[in-house]
Structure 1
Amino acid sequence: MIFCENCFNDKEIISIICSVPLLNTGKCPLCHNEGHLYNTDTQNFLTPYFEELLNIYAPSTTLPETYPRAKVRSLIDDLKDRWNIFAEIPREQIYEILKSICGELYANVPELFNGAVGIPELYDSVYLREHALLKNNNWDAFVEEIKTKNRFHSKLINFDILEKYCSFIRKPYKKGKLFYRARISDRSGYPKSEMSAPPAGKSLEGRANARGIVCLYVASDVDTTLHEVRAGVFDFVSVGTFQLKKDITVVDLRAIAEISPFVEGLDYLDHAINKQYLEKLNIEMSKSLRRSDSTLDYVPTQYIVDFIKSITHNGKQEYDGIEYNSTTNPGGYNLSIFNPDVFECMAVDVYDIEQLHYTFTRVNR
C-alpha cells in the first residue's frame, strides 16, 4: 500500500516518512497531495512504532470484567480521538493503512482491528497508583482534597511523572520577544513603572499564584490582553508592551495535545493514561473565574504550578513560567511568569472600549 506524510497529523510519523532514504515523491493515491510516497510492500520503518502502540490495546473479549463496557470502541476511533495520528482521511483508508503497516499483527490478532478494543490499565487501580499523574485517577477527587482536606501535602500526585511530562512540552522564548499586559485605568493611563505585577505581599490570587506571591500575567497580543482584563464598555484600558530581557523557557500546556505517542523516551501506556490529566490542567489554567466563584477554585492549579516552579536543573530553576490557552479570546494565549524581572515594560498605550459583543447559550435548570 502507498501513502504519504500528508495522510498523518502526527509530527513524529511525518518526520519518519520524510527521512526514509531514497523515498519517491509524487501524488499520493490516498490523500491526493504531493508528498513522500511510503510503500509498505518495500518499506517497514513504521512497523515497530505502530506495533508497539497497538500492543497496549486488547480486544474487548479479553478485557477484565471490571472494565467499563461503555468505554470500549473501535481501534480506529480511539487512534483518531486519543492520539490524533491521522489526517482527515476516511476511516476505511485508516483501516487499510493499519493493516498494511502491521500485517503480521493483523494476521495474528484480527479482532484487534475488526472489533471493539480497550486499554486494560486505564481502569487498573494498582497500575494507576504507580503510573498515573493522579494516583486515584480522578481529577475531581484531587480538587476536593486540595481545596478542603489537605492543601500542602497531598499524596495524590506523582510529581516524578509531572516533571517528566514538563520536559516534553518545554518551549523557549528569545530575548526581545514582545508580550502584553492590560490594566483598567482612566484616560491618562498608567505609567510604565506601574504596569508590571504587584509587589510581593500585594498580589491577589490567580490561577498560577497564591495571594501574596508575585506572578506576572502577560498575553500573546493586544486583543487577547484586552479580553483577559474583562473591561466594560466605555472603560479605558492601559496596555503595556513587555519585552523579554533574556532568553526564557516555559512549560507550554497548549502543546499537550500535540505530544506524539511515538516520541523517544515516552512510554505508550503511561502517555495513554496521563494525557487526559495534562489536557485538564490546560483547561483549568485557562478558565476565567466567575463573579460567583470562590478563589478556592484557584488552589488546584496553584498547587501544580508551585511544583513546576520548584523544578531545578544543576541548581538553577528549570522553568520561567507556564503557557496556556486564552478562553476569552480563542487563538490567543497567556503566560504566567514566575519572575517579572525577566520583562521590561517598553511602552503604554491607552484604549477606549467602545463596544462589547456577547455570545451566550441558554442554561437548562
Structure 2
Amino acid sequence: MATYEEVDEGKPIVQLLDEEWGFFRDSGLRPAEAKDLLADVLDDGELVRRLFVPIEHVGGGNLKRWEDLRDEMMHVNRWFLAEPMDMDRIKELLSQLIASPSTLSDLKWFRARLLGGDAPYQVDEMGAPPPHLAGHGRANPAGIPYLYLGSTRATAVAELRPHTGELACVAEFQLGKPDLKLADLRDPRSLISPLFGDESQMIKLRADLPLLERLGDELTRPVHPRGAPYEYIPTQYLCEYVKTCGFHGVMYRSSVSSDKGVNIALFDPELATPISVEEVSVERVSVQISTPSNAYS
C-alpha cells in the first residue's frame, strides 16, 4: 500500500481500490464482504480499518495538456502544434485498453442508413461511403471513410438522429478478422490494472486515468451538427494516432443509445462485411433536456 498515505480524514482502502481501479465493481460483494476478503488476502485485518488518501503524482498527469491541445487544434493551430503531448505515454496506456476478442464476438454489429427515397438499400449499399462522399465523422476526417457499427439495431439507428416516422435500413455485419485489435475506451478504469510495475508506475498510472476517461468521453460526447467540422478534430486526431499504434479501430459508448449499446469505428471498412439488411420504422424518439450551467451567468 505504498501508493497510499494514512491520514485521519481519508477513506478505507477497500473504498479507494474500488473507486480508483474498480476492484470490486462487478463482484457482487457488499462493502463488508469486500473488506473481509481484502483483509484475508493481505493477511492484515487492521489495515482495512485505517483511512488513506492516494499519493499524488508530481507531474499531475496529462489531462490538462490534452485540454490545452484540444483547444489549440480547434481554434489556434491545426497541423503543427506548439507543444504536442507525450504520445509515447499515450501509446503505452493504449496497450492496456485492448478489447477482448470475446467482447467483439459475443456482440452483433449493425449499420443503419435513413431512407432517402422509396426503394430500400440493398445489402451491398450498406457499407461505408466512398472517399469522395465521406464527410467529417466522430473518428474520421472528411475524405477518409471509416466504418461505424453499433452493437444493436436500435443503437445503429439512434446514431442517425432520426425523427419519428422516418424509415431506415439496418444491415448486420460480420467482422472479418478474429484477431481485430480495437482500443476499448468505454471504461478505462475497469481494464487497466495497477498490479503491474512498481509503486512509482502505479502513481503515474493513477494520474493518467482521468486522461483516458476524458478520451473516452470525447468519443461519446454529443456534437451539434453545425459545429461538427471543427469539434470532431480532437477525436479525429486521437483516432489517427490510435491507428498508427497498430489498432484496427476504437470501441466507445454511445451517447444516444436507449439500450446501452456501444459503437465501434473500423479504420478499414473492409474489415467487416454486410450479411443481411432489413427496413425498419422509427416509432419513437426520446428527448431529455437540461439547463446549461452557464445559462444565466
TM norm structure 2: 0.81
Q: Tell me, yes or no, if structure 1 residue 198 matches structure 2 residue 132.
A: no
Partner of 2:54: 118
- 2:191 corresponds to which of 237, 259, 270: 259
Partner of 2:67: 140
CA–CA distance in 2 between the matches of 1:92 and 1:180? 42
Q: Tell me, yes or no, if structure 1 residue 342 matches structure 2 residue 279.
A: no
Kindly provide the CA deviation profile for residues 155-209 of structure 1, in whole angstroms up to 9, marking residues without a partner as x.
Answer: 4422222222222222337789742111111342222232211112321111211
Other structure's SS at 1:181 match:
strand
Partner of 1:212: 143
Partner of 1:26: none
User: What amino acid maps onto 1:320 in structure 2?
Assistant: H
Q: Provide the aligned C-alpha RMSD in A.
A: 3.1
Gaps of at least 5 residues in structure 1 are: 1-53, 62-71, 312-317
Deviation at 1:80, TM superposition (A): 2.5
- 2:110 corresponds to which of 180, 192, 203: 180
Q: Tell me, yes or no, if structure 1 residue 84 matches structure 2 residue 22.
A: yes
Partner of 1:31: none
Other structure's SS at 2:131 match:
coil
CA–CA distance in 1 between the matches of 2:218 and 2:186? 12
Closer, same or farther in 2 for the Cα pair 1:170/1:89, shift >3 Å? closer
Kindly provide the CA deviation profile for residues 209-229 of structure 1, in whole angstroms up to 9, marking residues without a partner as x.
Answer: 111111111111211111111
User: What amino acid maps onto 2:151 in structure 1?
Assistant: S
Structure number with higher relative contact order (C-alpha < 8 Å, ≥ 6 residues apart): 2
Closer, same or farther in 2 for the Cα pair 1:277/1:201, shift >3 Å? same
Closer, same or farther in 2 for the Cα pair 1:292/1:342, shift >3 Å? closer
CA–CA distance in 2 between the matches of 1:269 and 1:58? 12
Please show how residues 1-365 of structure 1 align to structure 2 within 5 Å. 54-59=1-6, 73-76=10-13, 77-86=15-24, 87=27, 91=31, 101-102=41-42, 114-121=50-57, 124-125=58-59, 128=60, 132=61, 134=62, 137-154=64-81, 155-171=83-99, 172=101, 178-185=108-115, 186-247=117-178, 248-264=180-196, 267-291=201-225, 293-311=227-245, 318-329=246-257, 330-363=259-292, 365=295
Partner of 1:25: none
CA–CA distance in 1 between the matches of 2:20 and 2:54? 12
Partner of 1:39: none
Contact 1:286 1:327 in 2 (8 A): yes
Contact 1:250 1:323 in 2 (8 A): yes
Deviation at 1:75, TM superposition (A): 4.3
CA–CA distance in 1 between the matches of 2:175 and 2:28? 39
Partner of 1:21: none
Deviation at 1:361, TM superposition (A): 3.6
Closer, same or farther in 2 for the Cα pair 1:243/1:97, shift >3 Å? closer
Closer, same or farther in 2 for the Cα pair 1:143/1:75, shift >3 Å? farther
Closer, same or farther in 2 for the Cα pair 1:115/1:293, shift >3 Å? same
Deviation at 1:294, TM superposition (A): 4.2
User: What amino acid maps onto 1:170 in structure 2?
Assistant: I
Kindly provide the CA deviation profile for residues 270-322 of structure 1, in whole angstroms up to 9, marking residues without a partner as x.
Answer: 221111111111111112222453432211111111011012xxxxxx32111
Other structure's SS at 2:133 match:
coil
Moved more, 332-341 or 257-266: 257-266
Other structure's SS at 2:230 match:
helix
Deviation at 1:149, TM superposition (A): 2.7
Closer, same or farther in 2 for the Cα pair 1:102/1:228, shift >3 Å? same
Partner of 1:49: none
Contact 2:136 2:228 in 1 (8 A): no
Other structure's SS at 2:223 match:
coil
CA–CA distance in 1 between the matches of 2:110 and 2:30? 42
Deviation at 1:231, TM superposition (A): 0.9
TM norm structure 1: 0.68
User: What amino acid maps onto 1:58 in structure 2?
Assistant: E
User: What amino acid maps onto 1:74 in structure 2?
Assistant: K
CA–CA distance in 2 between the matches of 1:231 and 1:162? 36
Other structure's SS at 1:58 match:
strand
Tell me the percent identity. 23
Other structure's SS at 1:164 match:
helix
Kindly provide the CA deviation profile for residues 326-352 of structure 1, in whole angstroms up to 9, marking residues without a partner as x.
Answer: 121152111101111122222221112
